[in-house]
Amino acid sequence: MADKKDNREVVLRLSDITMQFGGVVAVDNLNLDVHKNEIVGLIGPNGAGKTTAFNCITGVYEPTNGAIEINGQVVIENYPQGKMKDSYQGRNQGKYTKAITMLPDKVTKLGVARTFQNIRLFKGMTVLENVMVAMHMNQSESVFGATFRSKKAREEEKAMREEALDLLKKVDLYENRDDMSTSLPYGKQRHLEIARALATHPSILLLDEPAAGMNPQESDDLMRFIGRIRDEFDLSILMIEHHMQVIMGICEHIYVLNYGGQIADGTPAEIQANPAVIEAYLGGDE
Amino acid sequence: MDKTLNSKTKTLLSIACIAAFLVFVYIGDNTIPPGSSWKMMITVIEKGSIFALVAASMNLLNGFTGLFSLGQAGFMLIGAYTYAIFTIPGKSHDAVYQYFDGGLIKWSIVEILEGKLGVLGHYIGMFIPMIGAGLIVALIAFLIGIPVLRLKSDYLAIATLGFAEILRAFFQWNTLGPITNGSNVLRKYTTYGNAIFPVIIAGICIAIIMLLINSTYGRAFRAIRDDEIAAEAMGVNLFKHKEMSFVISSFFAGISGALLAMFQTTINATPFNTVMTYEILLIVVIGGIGSITGSIIGAFLFTAASEWWLRGLDAGRWLGISSSLMRPGFRKVVFAVLIMLIVLFYAQGIMGSREFSWDRFIAWWKNLPSNLKSWPERHKAKATARKEARATKAAAKAKAKAAKEEGEAKKASGEKLFTPLPTSNEVMVFGKEGK
């Protein structure tokens, strides 16, 4: 376990997050901190509960127990209720008493943007439109004004388009702006998903396996790209990844999950030397 | 695609086409004598524009927001009744509501305003109940939407279809007779004088729908259609936007219901059944799901075919052919077969998910002669390709048969066909490397 104290402000904190589906505990008492401008990795074998943890943070699932703080404010909190009261298997029962839930779009408004493990672009739209959808929530014009092209609506649309084009330039997709999103090559689709997430003006970016299906050269480019956007957009990043090369290359802090439980956390060097991690990945002695 | 015209010319061209069409409709309705078979064309344009509007509103839901809703006929029904009830002239009430002591509402908005403002009042008096019909439908859709829009795909379709059927029964309920005239028809209400009226109203409404689709809200709708989870993660409030799309679509369905009431001059709840919903759905599918211009073209083609071109099939004589098969109802049979063919071989519809554009139209027009000229060649090439494919297939089959026969022969002679799998004592287990 890490002993070093990080003095930077905590932007995302998961406290005792437990997610139980019926009798299956997918995530078991996960405690995780993301500090400002930090790149944090979340690793673990298949089925360890990494994506479930992401879905809890973004409001797709309601965690069974535990709390999530974003920028110091508790936005999600839950305790075992109803049927779950009897079948709950996790610890820390009774520690949390409030039930605060938040829908994914509200979480996004708070500044948490995400990408998906299996690319989820808007198929019927161009690259530019994909990015502009993500800016829709920040516009203030009513549907009536937008339909009849009021002055405000036209100004907002223009500003939105300019910002989207600017963003596409930054992620090297400007040339493809009018292509259909599905016609892009795989690597560029990943870039577009990140660009679309950036368009929501996030302070925390959650990347779910951004290097999946990439060759060493491509994942090397991606690593540099993630580092660049972190600096350029002043982001804190939490990423799930299976490519150890990527994780060890850019993460400052790594959390390891196995069977839902948290088995280790620390710097890349500490993780590489941790016997519990080696056992989880390579299998231990019988 | 190369741009052939600048945007200003295109706008002028579009305006000129629309103006020419409106003039044609206006003059046509005034000059064609009622007995002429060409009169049917004007009827088709009237009914077609009304169905174009309701199909566009359904496309907004099904094609652009991805909500498979089948409640459109029900919403048209409310719109039609709302319009009719408030525009029956006072002196006709006793005749219309003959079983309900002249009904509850004994006045007409048109009459009241006409008395005060003259001819202008007449038209304002028609507009107010028409917009009112849309607003009432929108309000009902808002209330229905709260529980129903939480359902997904097929379940939403079933719920909205059921709702439309309930409405039909509700409007025929005898207790409501003083207002809805029970299961009797409503008639003698104010209608339009010239076929240009529904064309203009439907045109304006469709233009508004297109503006909405091209706005930032329209983009959010399409995002929901493409991927709900991703849309939500990008900050699009799913429920709010679905509800918005549902209410707006219903508003225009209400308006088209009011127009249909005017077109038919009498209104009754019976025809607003599932068949009507399917007709609207069909127009959307023929035109292309996700294309408003497709819906418009589909509406006119559908109406023209069912009201005009295929009419002879019911009358016993069509295109000079007469047969004993052609009796009332045969038209529907032919129509059903046509629809099956379209869905089987042309499922993306006339326009797919594209909209009309002058560039594409001009390119198509320019390439038409060469396309037509090269048609026999292409046909020949296709035939040759098919022949080759058949030959390859036959060769492959023959080869497979020969191989099978060879195998059978070997099996008969007792030869081993496969190397047997190693047994457990032959397999070496790799030991773990010691630390």
- Annotate A72-104 with three-state secondary structure: CEEEEEECCCCCHHHHCCCCCCCCCCCCECCCH
Question: Which domains, from first to last, does chain A contain?
Answer: 1-111+202-286 (3.40.50.300), 120-201 (no CATH)
Instruction: Give the residue numbers spanning the domain of B364.
Output: 357-396
Residue B124 parent element (H or E): helix B119-148
The arithmetic mean of pLDDT across residues B83-91, rounded, is 85
Rounded Cα distance between B322 and B306, Å, is 19
Number of domains in chain B: 2
What's the CATH number where B125 sits?
1.10.3470
CA distance B363 to chain A (A): 20
Identity of the residue in A104, A122, A136 whose CB atom sits nearest the CB atom of B216: A136
Same structural domain, B146 and B265: yes
Q: In one letter, which amino acid is B391? A: A
Same structural domain, B301 and B362: no
Look at residue B430 and tell me if it is in a domain.
no
Is B233's CB within 8 Å of A125's CB? no
Chain segment B2-15, per-residue pLDDT in tens: 556 678 888 888 88
Same structural domain, B133 and B234: yes
Q: Are B76 and B54 in contact (CB under 8 A)?
A: yes
Chain segment B62-75, per-residue pLDDT in tens: 989 999 889 899 99
Is B353's CB within 8 Å of A124's CB? yes
Maximum C-alpha span of chain B: 107
- The pLDDT assigned to B389 comes to 94
- The pLDDT assigned to B2 comes to 52
Residue showing tokens 């741009």 = B3
Q: Which residues of B touch A141 (CB under 8 A)?
A: 216
CA distance B279 to chain A (A): 26
Burial of A93 (0-12, 13-18, 19+ CB in 10 A): middle
pLDDT score of B333 more than 50: yes
- The pLDDT assigned to B124 comes to 85
Chain segment B212-254, per-residue pLDDT in tens: 999 999 999 999 999 999 999 999 999 999 999 999 999 999 9
Identity of the residue in A125, A136, A148 whose CB atom sits nearest the CB atom of B236: A136
Chain segment B38-61, per-residue pLDDT in tens: 788 888 889 999 999 999 999 999
Of residues B190 and B214, the one with the higher pLDDT is B214
Q: Are B22 and B196 in contact (CB under 8 A)?
A: yes
The whole-chain average pLDDT of chain B stands at: 84
Same structural domain, B278 and B366: no
Residue A20 parent element (H or E): strand A10-21
Look at residue B434 and tell me if it is in a domain.
no
Say what the pTM is. 0.85
- The pLDDT assigned to B427 comes to 58
CA torsion B176-B177-B179-B185 (nearest 10°) is 130
Same structural domain, B301 and B384: no
Maximum C-alpha span of chain A: 72
Is A285's CB within 8 Å of B238's CB? no
The arithmetic mean of pLDDT across residues B396-401, rounded, is 94
Q: B313 at the A interface (CB within 8 A)?
A: no
The arithmetic mean of pLDDT across residues B163-192, rounded, is 83
Chain segment B103-127, per-residue pLDDT in tens: 777 777 777 777 777 778 888 888 8
Look at residue B346 and tell me if it is in a domain.
no
The residue in chain A having the minimum alpha-carbon distance to the alpha carbon of residue B214 is: A147
Q: In one letter, which amino acid is B227? A: D
Q: Which residues of A touch B248 (CB under 8 A)?
A: 143
Q: Are B30 and B24 in contact (CB under 8 A)?
A: no
Same structural domain, B137 and B64: yes
Pairing of strands A39-43, A253-258: parallel
Is B226's CB within 8 Å of A124's CB? yes
pLDDT score of B428 more than 60: no
Interface of B with A in 348-377 (CB under 8 A): 353
The residue in chain A having the minimum alpha-carbon distance to the alpha carbon of residue B227 is: A122
Q: Which residues of A touch B231 (CB under 8 A)?
A: 122, 133
Is A108's CB within 8 Å of B235's CB? yes
Rounded Cα distance between B189 and B266, Å, is 8
Whole-number Cα distances in Å, B410 to B289, B404, B416, B417, B420: 58, 10, 8, 8, 16
- The pLDDT assigned to B316 comes to 65
b (16+ CB within 10 A) / e for B55-93 = bbbbbbbbbbbbbbbbbbbbbbbbbbbbbbbbbbeeeeb
Instruction: Report the sign of the C-alpha dihedral through residues B299, B303, B304, B305, in that order.
Output: positive
Same structural domain, B286 and B217: yes
- The pLDDT assigned to B424 comes to 63
Same structural domain, B269 and B369: no
The arithmetic mean of pLDDT across residues B180-204, rounded, is 84
- The pLDDT assigned to A2 comes to 44
Same structural domain, B272 and B371: no
Rounded Cα distance between A201 and A110, Å, is 9
pLDDT score of B429 more than 80: no
Identity of the residue in A108, A114, A146 whose CB atom sits nearest the CB atom of B215: A146
Look at residue B413 and tell me if it is in a domain.
no
Q: Which residues of B touch A137 (CB under 8 A)?
A: 234-237
CA torsion B222-B224-B227-B231 (nearest 10°) is 110
Is A122's CB within 8 Å of B230's CB? yes
- The pLDDT assigned to B245 comes to 94
Look at residue B123 and tell me if it is in a domain.
yes
Identity of the residue in A108, A125, A156 whose CB atom sits nearest the CB atom of B233: A108
Domain boundary at B275, B290, B307, which?
B307
Is B215's CB within 8 Å of A149's CB? yes
Look at residue B401 and tell me if it is in a domain.
no
Same structural domain, B68 and B206: yes
- 3-state secondary structure at position A196: helix
Residue B105 phi, psi dihedral angles, 5° rounding: -95, 115
Q: Which residues of B touch A133 (CB under 8 A)?
A: 219-220, 222-223, 231, 234, 236
What is the percentage of chain B residues whose pLDDT exceeds 90?
31
Is A58's CB within 8 Å of B233's CB? yes
Q: Are B117 and B124 in contact (CB under 8 A)?
A: yes
The residue in chain A having the minimum alpha-carbon distance to the alpha carbon of residue B432 is: A285
Interface ipTM: 0.88
Look at residue B11 and tell me if it is in a domain.
no
Same structural domain, B390 and B243: no
| pLDDT tens-digit profile, chain A (286 residues) | 444 556 788 899 998 898 888 888 888 888 999 999 999 999 988 888 889 999 999 999 988 888 999 988 888 888 888 777 777 777 777 788 888 888 899 999 999 999 998 889 998 899 999 999 999 888 888 888 888 888 888 999 999 999 999 999 988 889 988 899 989 988 889 889 999 999 999 999 999 988 888 888 888 888 888 999 999 999 999 999 888 888 888 899 999 988 888 888 888 888 888 888 888 877 765 4
Q: B229 at the A interface (CB within 8 A)?
A: yes
CA distance A91 to chain B (A): 30
Q: Are B186 and B88 in contact (CB under 8 A)?
A: yes
Look at residue B117 and tell me if it is in a domain.
yes
Would you list which residues of chain A are within 8 Å, Cβ to Cβ, of chain B?
Answer: 58, 60, 103-105, 108-109, 113-114, 116, 120-125, 129, 132-134, 136-139, 141, 143, 146-149, 153, 156-157, 160, 196-197, 199-200, 285
Is A196's CB within 8 Å of B225's CB? no
Same structural domain, B380 and B232: no
